[in-house]
Every structure is written in C-alpha cells, then in structure tokens.
A = this chain, B = another copy of it.
Amino acid sequence: MFTLKELQDLINNAISNEKIGREPFSLYDPINYTLESGGKRIRPALALMACNLFTDNINPAIKPALGLEIFHNFTLLHDDIMDHAGIRRGKPTVHKKWNENTAILSGDAMFIKAYEYLLDCRSPNFRDILKVFNETALEVCEGQQYDMEFETRESVSEDDYLRMIELKTSVLLAASLKIGAMIGGADNADAELLYKFGKNIGLAFQLQDDLLDVYGDINVFGKKPGGDIVANKKTLMLIKALELAANDELKTLKNLLSDKNIDSEKKITAVTEIYNKLNIKSIVEEQIKRLNADAVRFLESVSVNENKKGELIKLAEKLTNRIN
C-alpha cells in the first residue's frame, strides 16, 4: 500500500509537471501560484488511498485526484476574497498579491481546470463520478454561504453548526474517498461506506481545528491562537459554552461577546477561562472521539482485507488528533 508520504510526493510532482504555461499568463499565473503554495494534499491522498484499497494500479485515479485538489484550492482562493483574508500558507493571498478581479477570474478558470482533470477519468462509471463531484461542489458552496450567514445571525444551534462544517469541509473529504473508490472498482456499498468514513473524519477534523484555535501551540501549528474567539465565531465550543453557562458566567460570556472595545488578548484569556470552567475542551474531545469511532466502524465494514486499511487509519488519526 502507498503511504501518505509517497502519495504526497507523487501529487506534488504531478502538480509541478502540470504547471499551466498558456497565455494569458496573467490569468494562469495566480493558479500556478496557488497550487504550488503547498498544503497537505489531503483530498487527493484520500482519493488515491481509497482507490488503492481496491487495486494496486492507482494511475487512473491520479488526474481526478488532482482535480479534487485544484477544486479545493479554488474554493480557498474565492473564500479568501469573501473573508478578506490577506495571508494563506504564509504567503499573500491572490487578491492581495494581484487584485480582486484577477482573484475572481483566475478562480473561475481554476474551477474549470478542476473539471478538466476530472474529465480525464476513464472509468465506465464516469458520469456517476462526475455527478458525485458536482453535487459535492454545490454543497461546498452551501457550506460557505451558511458560514458567512452565521457571522451575522443572532443564534446558531449545534445542529446548524455541524451541518455547516459538514457541507463546508466534510463532504469534499468524503467525496474524495468515494471517487477514488469508484475509480478503483469498489461496489456501491463500499464506496458509500468510505463516503461515511470521510464525512465523520471531516467533522472530527474541523472540531479539532476549532479546539486548536483555542488550545493549539503557536510553535507547533504556526497560527496564533484565539482568532475564532476574537471574531465571535460561533464554533461548537462557543455554542456549548452558551448552552452550559448559567447566571453570572453566562452574563460575563455575553458581555465579552458584545464588548466591541475589549482588548483581544484580554478577551481570549477571559473566554478561554470560561471554556475551562465548563470543561468545553473535554466535551468537544469526547465528540471527536465518537466521530472517530464511527468513522473506524464504517472503514471496518469495507469489504477488503484489514491489512490494507492501515494507511487510511493512520491518516485519519493524523487529521483528527493533532493536539497531542
């Protein structure tokens, strides 16, 4: 079985080889820039690993896997415009380095390139594979729309939040696995089990990301903690805290959220203190564990030899257990 490292190298090599050298360069340079700026290549790796479960020949899945990576990077490019984000992977975002029009149009062209790579798929179930991709792409847009809406919405429930991160993050991980499996020759049942495995891993991954934003070590994760707290982002942690806090604690928390002049560091410290008192970290960690356990159960049911599943389990652990 291919290891994560082997697949990441394979994907990075493929991306270097596929650099777009066509005019107008002003349209394509931002695409090359985005694709070469790194990232962990999780989605194509998942696709190739899922394919590898069913066949030793993963070559037919490489181009479609690249398509999934290009699509993911396209969503980041457009999201960064909408979120006014200036830095991505330690480098200026496209709309900062070039301008907003370039970011919109190069993003559109990048999306078309994603389809180009998916159209390279030679499987007999080609149309079904494209339909999975297409429906997933639409769901990712829905997730981004909810994410933006929640910023200004008064109250967001736990279910709302979980549905949002499912759409924005999980479904693409799930679809990457499903598409890889379909290309590898999996039957519908196995492809669906891998989809569910991916969906649970994706949710766990995002909840872990939320935890890291509060409890992560800047030296390990390269990101200054507390960004979500400063922005009043309605993560599961904040939703749970608002649900569990009572009396004075609830009042303090609400005051912290509505105080527009408070010093950021003070706010981070105060909100984290409330999270600590309410055991929010353990509560979310429990939820991550449950999601992981469900994920593993789905993977166990996939009808291939257990010894083939090691790499996927390792990757899932890596994605959802980043705090320790």
> Could you list which residues of chain A lie within 8 angstroms of chain B, going by C-beta atoms?
23-24, 26-27, 78, 81-82, 101, 104-105, 107-109, 111-113, 115-116, 119, 126-127, 130-131, 134, 137-138, 141-142, 144-146, 148-149
Contact = CB atoms under 8 A, between A and B. Distances in A.
A119 B78 CA distance: 24
Q: Do most interface residues of chain A lie in helix, strand or loop, or is the interface mixed?
A: helix
B145 A105 contact: yes
A126 B119 CA distance: 10
Nearest to A111: B111
A27 B82 contact: no
B141 A108 contact: yes
A23 B146 CA distance: 10
A29 to B, nearest CB: 11
A77 B113 CA distance: 20
A141 B119 contact: no
A101 B108 CA distance: 14
Nearest to A122: B127
B81 A145 contact: no
A147 to B, nearest CB: 10
Number of copies: 2
Given A24-B146, A27-B142, A134 B115 contact: yes
A131 B126 CA distance: 13
A105 B101 CA distance: 14
Contacts of A134: 112, 115-116, 119
A145 B134 CA distance: 26
A81 B146 CA distance: 22
Report the 9 A-B pairs with minimum CB-CB distance, sorted nearest first: A27-B145, A109-B141, A82-B101, A112-B137, A112-B138, A24-B145, A115-B134, A116-B134, A108-B141
A254 to B, nearest CB: 27
B141 A27 contact: yes
A149 B24 contact: yes
A112 B141 CA distance: 9
Given A109-B141, A112-B134, A137-B112, A26 B149 contact: yes
A24 B142 contact: yes
A58 to B, nearest CB: 21
Given A26-B149, A115-B115, A119-B134, 16 more contacts: A23-B142, A24-B145, A24-B146, A26-B145, A78-B104, A81-B104, A82-B101, A82-B105, A101-B148, A105-B148, A108-B141, A115-B134, A116-B138, A119-B130, A119-B131, A130-B130
Given A78-B108, A82-B104, A148-B101, A113 B138 contact: yes
